[in-house]
Amino acid sequence: MSSPSSVSLESAPGAVKLPILKVSGLRKTHETAGGDLTVLKDVNLSLDTGDTLAIIGPSGSGKTTLLGLCAGLDDASAGSVELDGMAIELLDQDARAALRNRLVGFVFQSFQLIPTLTAIENVLVPLELRGESGKDIHAEAERLMTEVGLGDRLDHYPLQLSGGEQQRVALARAFIHRPKILFADEPTGNLDAGTSGPIVDMLFRLNREAGTALVLVTHDPALAAKARRVVTMSGGEIVSEEENAAI
Ligand SMILES: Nc1ncnc2c1ncn2[C@@H]1O[C@H](COP(=O)(O)OP(=O)(O)O)[C@@H](O)[C@H]1O
Ligand SMILES: [Mg+2]
């Protein structure tokens, strides 16, 4: 009698890997005093698990809107966003928040740190939302704060930190729960050359070591050049896509 195969579907040769992100016919229209304004027009995009993607394009082209919709922070006017095979528009707010907390890290252009919490308390928020607590998570938060160069700023409040320092706290917060996909909106936008290098290295180390897929909106050519795929947006559409053959 033959025994049942122990090879799981995921590791079976030729198994189809689900994309971590699949965007289909995504549209966003704002109602404004001057009439409806469509700022995202039927965008289609798919990203493999563990892959890296940079989104570039002029200001106002819809990059931040696309990122927010992909991460389930905002509702689309039409179309679908699947995260790890789950269509987020089918989930209620609680289920969507739980999915986000399990899978997604997000670094906002404007940081969005909680002003009444210290830097290290901000970093711990994603784990506390998961109900984790204790010394281990505190040690991990301290390690990440040290890695972003802020080991001596643990108990500072956001208003006591510079823009670049707040950006680094926001990155540590996005890393702490080892998300399967990390969205970052201009992650080096507030950093000078000296501090952006280590942050970029940290992003790509998270990709290599934890397999976190990266979706990075950036104006920084050096950062875009490190991603395997680069898409360009203009007027609410993806107008071109390139692959970096060296990666
Ligand atoms: N709430 C809103 N109401 C109306 N228009 C908006 C709103 N939010 C964003 N927009 C417009 O959507 C367009 C795309 O914005 P955004 O996604 O922030 O672009 P990018 O990140 O590429 O600079 C811009 O023209 C912006 O003015
Ligand atoms: Mg933007």
Tens digit of each residue's pLDDT (9 = 90 or more) over 13-39: 556 678 999 999 999 999 999 999 999
Q: Look at 112-116, 132-136, 206-210 and tell me which has the smallest mean pLDDT.
A: 132-136
Pocket test for ligand 1, best of 28, 29, 30 (most atoms within 8 A of CB): 30
* Residues lining ligand 1, Cβ inside 6 A: 30, 32, 37, 39, 57, 59-65
Taking the whole predicted model, whether its pTM rises above 0.85 is answered as yes
Residue 2 has pLDDT above 50, yes or no: no
Distance between Cα 99 and ligand 2 center (Å) = 24
What distance in Å separates the CA atoms of residue 114 and residue 119, rounded to the nearest whole number?
9
Q: Is residue 6 very low, low, confident or very high in pLDDT (cuts 50, 70, 90)?
A: very low
Residue nearest to atom 2 of ligand 1 (CA): 30
Q: Any idea which ligand is nearest the CA of 60?
A: 1
Beta carbons within 8 Å of 106's beta carbon, 6+ residues apart: 67, 71, 73, 100, 174, 182, 183, 184
How is the chain split into domains, by residue range? 50-72+104-243
Q: Is residue 247 very low, low, confident or very high in pLDDT (cuts 50, 70, 90)?
A: confident
Other C-beta atoms lying within 10 Å of the C-beta of residue 225: 13
Beta carbons within 8 Å of 141's beta carbon, 6+ residues apart: 120, 123, 124, 127, 172, 176
Please give the number of the atom of ligand 1 that sits closest to the Cα of 61: 22
Size of the chain in residues? 247
Do 153 and 106 meet the contact criterion of CB atoms below 8 Å apart? no
Check residue 246 and give its pLDDT: 83
Residue 38's SS3 state is strand
Distance between Cα 101 and ligand 2 center (Å) = 23
Residue 20's SS3 state is strand
Distance between Cα 151 and ligand 2 center (Å) = 29
Second-level CATH architecture of 50-72+104-243: 3-Layer(aba) Sandwich (3.40)
What distance in Å separates the CA atoms of residue 247 and residue 228, rounded to the nearest whole number?
6
Pocket test for ligand 1, best of 29, 31, 36, 37 (most atoms within 8 A of CB): 37
What distance in Å separates the CA atoms of residue 203 and residue 223, rounded to the nearest whole number?
10
Check residue 13 and give its pLDDT: 58
